[in-house]
Chain A
Amino acid sequence: MVTISSNLLYIAFVLYLVATLFFGGAIKAKKDIEGKKGTNRWGKIAVFLTIIGFISQVGYFITRWIAAGHAPVSNLFEFTTFFGMCLVGAFIVIYYIYRTPLLGLFTMPVAILVIAYASMFPRDISPLIPALQSDWLHIHVTTAALGEAILAISFAAGLIYLVKVIDQSKASKRTFWLETVMFALVTTLGFVLVSTLFSSLDYKAEFNWVDKNDQAVTMEYTMPAITGPHEGELLTKGKFEPLVEMPALINAKKMNSVIWSFIGGFILYGLIRLILRKRISAALQPLVKNINLDFVDEISYRSVLIGFPVFTLGALIFAMIWAQIAWTRFWGWDPKEVWALITWLFYAAFLHLRLSKGWHGEKSAWLAVIGFVIIMFNLVAVNLVIAGLHSYAG
């Protein structure tokens, strides 16, 4: 069952990749039949592939659920994969409302990156600790992920808006920040590629080191150490000696992964720039030239409107109900709770700005991007960096 499950996920991943290419084709081909509304043959194939991929991933989800005996949303790999699945699901729904393949061209790569990122974490089926043994696990986590995914669609739409509207003929703050977003996406890919490279080489180096409580402990690196642990001593022979030693307070291993991701990101980004000979956003601009700005703006706003209630329900209300049952109180200022509140406050501010201060168009698109950054921060950093009650998800 576990094998079937992981194969289904793999199939889904490949289908999403192919679908993205077809979405690209749909946009390119559209130029020839200018003026004709709706989706062309390429686009239809792309959507079809996306749906098959989605079904395959649902298959992964169900089979893994059967194998584990609980919904596969209990560790970082499972949750992030599920988030990717929701993203694709949300895209399919929004596609059938607005029928624009361009949205697919921007959403699918994000979903692919999310799933690829997820699979860098341990993929074992983990048993549930007592606090997680509740039906609210399924209810709370799935609803929260769905809400975040719908909100993430507004990021994709916002990105389309920005790629189209920002003048790429001269460098400005706007081009810089938009390119930063692109670079962040490339760096995520960099992390995935570097991790895959070293795990396929089966790189392992053991260190003896001294932690912040002055305890001697060992730690295993899976990437060559650039930043070594505090008073670290390399045990495995023939492996890379660290260049810099970190103080005990900083997790040298995570720091090392971050540095490698950036190295991967920079190389990749450099290569892309070398081939394109312009900014990534400038290279994407021709793809979006046929889209109507108001239309994308509306998709972005609509996704926030649809996603906000779902997010509130899943990430705050269901979360509070469960916290009352499991942790004796509905609210305890745990970092994950606080960041859910921050996300919620941010989108509340977004809606007020839009409704009353008339922040449409570009400003609104930037806000959608920031919102996604907050969601990703809550997903990645709060689990990995900030310790709290939710850190079992490592």
Chain B
Amino acid sequence: MKDVKCECGHVNPHGTVLCEACGKVFDEQSKDKSLLDMRYEGSARRSQTYNKTIVDKIWNFFSSVKVGVWLIIVTLIASAAGTILPQEMYIPPTMPAEEYYEDQYGWFGKLYYELGFNNLYSSWWYLVLIAMIGISLVICSLDRVVPLYKALKAQRVTRHEGFLKRQRLFGTSGNVDVQDIATVKQRLKTKRYHVREENGDLLAEKGRFSRWGPYVNHVGLIIFLIGGMLRFVPGMYIDKVLWLREGETKVVPETDGQYYVTNEKFILENYDKDKDKTFEAAIDRAGMVVKNYQTNAVLYKRVGPAIPGEKPELEKVKEHKIKVNQPLKFEKFALYQVDYKLDELNTMSFSLTNKASGETFGDIKINLYDPKPKYDLGNGYHVEVLSFFPDFEFAKNGEPTTKSRIPNNPAFVFKMTSPEVPDGETSFVAIQQTIEPLGDNQYKMAFKGIETKNVTALTVRKDLTLWIIILGGIIFMIGVIQGAYWNHRRIWVQNKNGEIWVAAHTNKNWYGLKREIESVLSETKINIPADQIQNEKVDKEGI
């Protein structure tokens, strides 16, 4: 395409509306308007210039602000829809999601589930929306920032008459002293304007960098979104839960067996209304308020190579009281306090008892996480654990079975051997229940007691995307502040036809600009430029 040469000598790219250097109006349509559209300085934007190939069409689609706003609005409505009912990750794990939604919320819940709104924010179409916003951010920024930069760089001090006349703030004055111009120039400088002079014409400009604010914040957002995408790259993000009983040491998942953690003690504290008098009323109303969840943890590192089947040699790294808001951090990992279970069964004790005499022949204490196959009580007495069901229930076929490995409801099949019965007697023992499947026994395992332990749940987190997210956030904030808290102001004071013309433009905050001009021009013979938008309105309203 052909470039356009302006009468001022500057060569503009094809599609330019206002000459980059002098501001002369090229576009026929703009010529009739009383005010110029100053957005993007009337520069040649690709999206406004080409619309032939498929690439052009895609480019134009995504560079449109209208499309951008629609994408934002659709995302907004979709996000709101996801909050009507709780997302699947927040529902209690008591029943499958499919049943839960219908059970709790009736037909609406069922519909919600069937539409996939139970996992709305990870649905393909929601991600497509976010991706489209990302693409729109890139394209619309590139479409504008490059020509805008060129136009602002090429601008000259002396401007075309048509350009000045069609600024929102514009005024002319005759009989102006040369001294006044010098005063104005000085005042503009003290107001931190960068003043350029050519042939006695002035261009005072400040805050141009605020024009880059939107593009800087868009870059920040793109980096943020890229950071979010990287989470799906294997190894970048780890989210595991580690259940740990008191006194237990386990390997920290995903550390290649390098790190081990021990739960020395789990503590749950409630507020005590007698001690915390200030909170008395609130505690009375709420009943119980938790003050602290804490795991006293010790972190170990393995020394030497890992040999399968052998106990690793561990070296203490540090102790840390893991509380909510105070995770244990090491290398790229962090361990968070997220859940707990109080008083989980840990051991059960029984006495081998003669049913007739009540005489006992020794106690056994069974570690429910690690029951021994045989407990020898001496003098010819011993007990074998034939079967162990930590979480006992009867299966559909009537056989005893276990729901999980957690000892919520332990049951045993014991074989008791004594001098009287050297072949042994079999007994099935569960809580509050004893079955003697092979006829009457002489001996029984009498329940003696239990020991319980608290269990803590720690989230193991590694997130290598964090620094990218942080970087994106910082850049976004810089951009948004740069664009919002500064204004790009320009004031032209020029000699035209023996008069002094003053025109001014700002990208926002016209009130501030007007006040500044008033103070700069005060007590000079230069008239304060009028606000042509307000004049227009007054004309229309006929006041």
Residues of A in contact with B (beta carbons under 8 Å apart): 2, 67-69, 98, 122, 124-127, 129-131, 133-134, 212, 249, 292-295, 298, 301-302, 305-306, 308-309, 312-313, 317, 320, 324-326, 328-330, 332-335, 338-339, 341-342, 345-346, 348-349, 352-353, 355-357, 382, 386-388
7 A-B pairs in the complex with CB atoms less than 8 angstroms apart: A127-B279, A127-B289, A249-B105, A309-B485, A326-B325, A339-B80, A357-B66
Query: Which residue, A298, A309, A339, has most C-beta atoms of chain B within 10 A?
Result: A309
CB within 8 Å for A122 and B282 given contacts A305-B484, A308-B480, A309-B481: yes
Query: A191 vs B89: C-alpha distance in the bound complex, in angstroms?
Result: 35
Query: A184 vs B285: C-alpha distance in the bound complex, in angstroms?
Result: 31
Residues of B within 8 A of A352 (CB): 65, 68-69, 72
Cβ-defined partner of B76 (8 Å) among A69, A212, A342: A342
Cβ-defined partner of B461 (8 Å) among A313, A328, A341, A349: A328
| B residues 509-543 in Cβ contact with A at 8 Å | 509-511, 531, 533-534, 537
- Selecting from B290-298, B309-317, B349-357, B389-397, the interface stretch reads B290-298
B289 near A346: Cβ-Cβ < 8 Å: no
Q: Across chains A and B, which 6 residue pairs bring their CB atoms closest together, nearest first?
A: A356-B65, A130-B324, A124-B281, A126-B282, A124-B282, A127-B279
Cβ-defined partner of B477 (8 Å) among A131, A295, A313, A325: A313
A125 near B69: Cβ-Cβ < 8 Å: no
Q: Does B232 lie at the interface of the complex (its beta carbon under 8 Å from any beta carbon of A)? A: no
CB within 8 Å for A335 and B327 given contacts A302-B509, A309-B481, A352-B69: no
Q: Does B413 lie at the interface of the complex (its beta carbon under 8 Å from any beta carbon of A)? A: no
A306 near B105: Cβ-Cβ < 8 Å: no
CB within 8 Å for A312 and B325 given contacts A125-B282, A129-B290: no
CB within 8 Å for A345 and B509 given contacts A305-B484, A309-B481, A333-B121: no
B285 near A328: Cβ-Cβ < 8 Å: no
B484 near A308: Cβ-Cβ < 8 Å: yes
Cβ-defined partner of B82 (8 Å) among A2, A68, A338, A387: A338
Residues of A within 8 A of B399 (CB): none
Query: A69 vs B508: C-alpha distance in the bound complex, in angstroms?
Result: 44
* Dominant secondary structure at the A interface: helix
* Dominant secondary structure at the B interface: helix
Query: A67 vs B65: C-alpha distance in the bound complex, in angstroms?
Result: 51
A345 near B72: Cβ-Cβ < 8 Å: yes
Closest A residue to B480 by beta carbon equals: A309
A249 near B278: Cβ-Cβ < 8 Å: no
A294 near B466: Cβ-Cβ < 8 Å: no
Residues of A within 8 A of B225 (CB): none
Residues of A within 8 A of B473 (CB): 317, 320
Query: Which residue, A133, A338, A346, has most C-beta atoms of chain B within 10 A?
Result: A338
Residues of B in contact with A (beta carbons under 8 Å apart): 39, 65-66, 68-69, 72-73, 75-76, 79-80, 82-84, 86-87, 89-90, 104-106, 121, 214, 239, 271, 276, 278-279, 281-283, 285-286, 289-293, 323-325, 327, 334, 336-338, 459, 461, 463, 466, 469, 473, 476-477, 480-481, 484-485, 508-511, 531, 533-534, 537
Q: Give chain A nearest CB distance to B531 CB in angstroms.
A: 8
Q: Give chain B nearest CB distance to A317 CB in angstroms.
A: 5
Query: A127 vs B286: C-alpha distance in the bound complex, in angstroms?
Result: 10
Query: A333 vs B531: C-alpha distance in the bound complex, in angstroms?
Result: 47
Closest A residue to B86 by beta carbon equals: A387
Residues of B within 8 A of A301 (CB): 508
Closest B residue to A346 by beta carbon equals: B76
Q: Beyond the given A333-B89, A346-B76, please list 12 additional residue pairs across the A-B interface where CB-CB is below 8 A.
A: A2-B278, A98-B511, A125-B278, A127-B279, A129-B289, A130-B337, A306-B484, A309-B485, A328-B338, A328-B459, A345-B75, A349-B72
Residues of A within 8 A of B292 (CB): 130
Cβ-defined partner of A298 (8 Å) among B72, B276, B338, B511: B511
Query: A232 vs B73: C-alpha distance in the bound complex, in angstroms?
Result: 43
Query: A295 vs B512: C-alpha distance in the bound complex, in angstroms?
Result: 11
Query: A172 vs B336: C-alpha distance in the bound complex, in angstroms?
Result: 57
Q: Give chain B nearest CB distance to A285 CB in angstroms.
A: 16
Query: A381 vs B479: C-alpha distance in the bound complex, in angstroms?
Result: 32
Query: A158 vs B84: C-alpha distance in the bound complex, in angstroms?
Result: 29
Q: Give chain B nearest CB distance to A121 CB in angstroms.
A: 11
Residues of A within 8 A of B83 (CB): 335, 338-339, 382, 386
Query: A134 vs B82: C-alpha distance in the bound complex, in angstroms?
Result: 29
Closest B residue to A354 by beta carbon equals: B508
Query: A295 vs B511: C-alpha distance in the bound complex, in angstroms?
Result: 7
Cβ-defined partner of B325 (8 Å) among A67, A131, A293: A131
Query: A11 vs B476: C-alpha distance in the bound complex, in angstroms?
Result: 41
Q: Give chain A nearest CB distance to B283 CB in angstroms.
A: 7
Residues of B within 8 A of A306 (CB): 484-485
CB within 8 Å for A357 and B86 given contacts A127-B282, A312-B477, A326-B324: no
A325 near B325: Cβ-Cβ < 8 Å: yes
Q: Give chain A nearest CB distance to B334 CB in angstroms.
A: 8
B283 near A127: Cβ-Cβ < 8 Å: yes
Q: Give chain B nearest CB distance to A353 CB in angstroms.
A: 6
Query: A122 vs B282: C-alpha distance in the bound complex, in angstroms?
Result: 8
Residues of A within 8 A of B89 (CB): 332-333
B278 near A69: Cβ-Cβ < 8 Å: yes
Q: Give chain B nearest CB distance to A42 CB in angstroms.
A: 24
Residues of A within 8 A of B282 (CB): 122, 124-127
B291 near A127: Cβ-Cβ < 8 Å: yes
Q: Give chain B nearest CB distance to A372 CB in angstroms.
A: 16
Cβ-defined partner of B466 (8 Å) among A324, A339, A357: A324
B76 near A349: Cβ-Cβ < 8 Å: yes
A325 near B327: Cβ-Cβ < 8 Å: yes
Query: A388 vs B84: C-alpha distance in the bound complex, in angstroms?
Result: 11
Q: Give chain A nearest CB distance to B528 CB in angstroms.
A: 15
Query: A324 vs B484: C-alpha distance in the bound complex, in angstroms?
Result: 28
Query: A294 vs B285: C-alpha distance in the bound complex, in angstroms?
Result: 51
Query: A68 vs B86: C-alpha distance in the bound complex, in angstroms?
Result: 33
Query: Which residue, B324, B461, B463, B476, has most C-beta atoms of chain A within 10 A?
Result: B324
Residues of A within 8 A of B106 (CB): 249
Query: Which residue, A130, A133, A320, has most C-beta atoms of chain B within 10 A?
Result: A130
